[in-house]
Amino acid sequence: MIPRLFITSGLQAGQTVNGSQAQAHYLKNVLRRAAGDAVCLFNGRDGEFAAHIADLRKAEVTFHLASQTRAQAAEPDIWLAFCLLKRDATDLVVQKATELGVSAVLPIVSGRTNVAGTNLDRLRAIATEAAEQSERLTVPALHQPQTLGALLAAWPRERTLAAAVERVAADPPGGQGGLLVGPEGGFSGGELDALHAAPFIQAVSLGPRILRAETAAIAGLALLLARSSW
């Protein structure tokens, strides 16, 4: 298997670029790679490149870029706003949302969210690894946690937001530019009123069963992304 790595530098055939300390550790100590071994690099802007390890030390790695193997291409532009869950469930949502192809992840704190915060650096690492594994050309943008009120106030009016609401007669998601999923305790009555009043929101159903929030996020995104072009 050729390791596929996300790096931040610009990519151009013939160049030598630096990887991170974590990538040096991963290549040397986990994958047991050495100078001369092949890698595949992408940075979210310049497509994907075939490269090889030029130099690999304990905490440093450089890559030499051969040729571009994929040009940067348009990807679906679907955003996931989800109320923060316990650590493992939040990690799962970020990983699966990245695999499924979201362009942005917006962690939300709602009235019934019972998690104080999250570690964005860890979530960024999870999203980066999922993008590497799933052969995406980008890593989704990861936003700072915000309240549900702040999300609704700032949401672009032209972007339809599918709000997953259980026990309502509504259509499945499809064609919207974003998905909103509530916390384990669901949205409060006041929050549901605010969602129904927002002109850019469509309440959507994910079926007759009550899904765990992480299941709702993954299933809703699968439905949304299956209908968007890529």
Nearer to ligand SAM, 34 or 210 (CB): 210
**Run of H or E residues at 224:** helix 213-226
Given 108, 130, 213, 218, the residue binding ligand SAM (CB under 6 A): 213
> Does 50 help bind ligand SAM (rule: CB under 6 A)?
no
Q: Which stretch binds ligand SAM (CB under 6 A): 19-27, 126-134, 149-157, 202-210?
A: 202-210
Cβ neighbours around 216 below 10 Å, total: 21
Closest CA to 125 of 106, 135, 140: 140
CA separation for the pair 12, 23 (Å, rounded):
20
Q: Which of residues 158-177 bind ligand SAM (CB under 6 A)?
A: 164-166
> Does 85 help bind ligand SAM (rule: CB under 6 A)?
no
DSSP class of residue 156 equals: -
Q: Which stretch binds ligand SAM (CB under 6 A): 37-45, 73-81, 144-152, 205-213?
A: 205-213
Task: State the Cα torsion 146-100-76-154 to the nearest 10°.
Answer: -10
- What pairs with residue 55 in β-bridges? 62
Interface with ligand SAM (CB under 6 A), residue total: 18
Q: DSSP states of 42-85 as a string?
A: E-SSS-EEEEEEEEE-SS-EEEEEEEEEE--------EEEEE--
Given 184, 192, 200, 223, the residue binding ligand SAM (CB under 6 A): 184
Q: Which stretch binds ligand SAM (CB under 6 A): 49-57, 93-101, 128-136, 209-217?
A: 209-217
**Edge to edge, what strands does the sheet with 16-18 contain?**
4-6, 38-42, 48-56, 61-70, 16-18
Nearer to ligand SAM, 142 or 148 (CB): 148
> Does 216 help bind ligand SAM (rule: CB under 6 A)?
yes
Q: Are 102 and 139 in contact (CB under 8 A)?
A: no
CA separation for the pair 207, 228 (Å, rounded):
20
Nearer to ligand SAM, 123 or 163 (CB): 163
Q: Which stretch binds ligand SAM (CB under 6 A): 63-71, 115-123, 141-149, 180-188?
A: 180-188
Nearer to ligand SAM, 140 or 186 (CB): 186
Q: Which stretch binds ligand SAM (CB under 6 A): 18-26, 54-62, 145-153, 200-208?
A: 200-208
Q: Which of residues 51-80 bind ligand SAM (CB under 6 A)?
A: none
Residues that bind ligand SAM (CB under 6 A): 164-166, 181-182, 184-187, 205-207, 209-213, 216
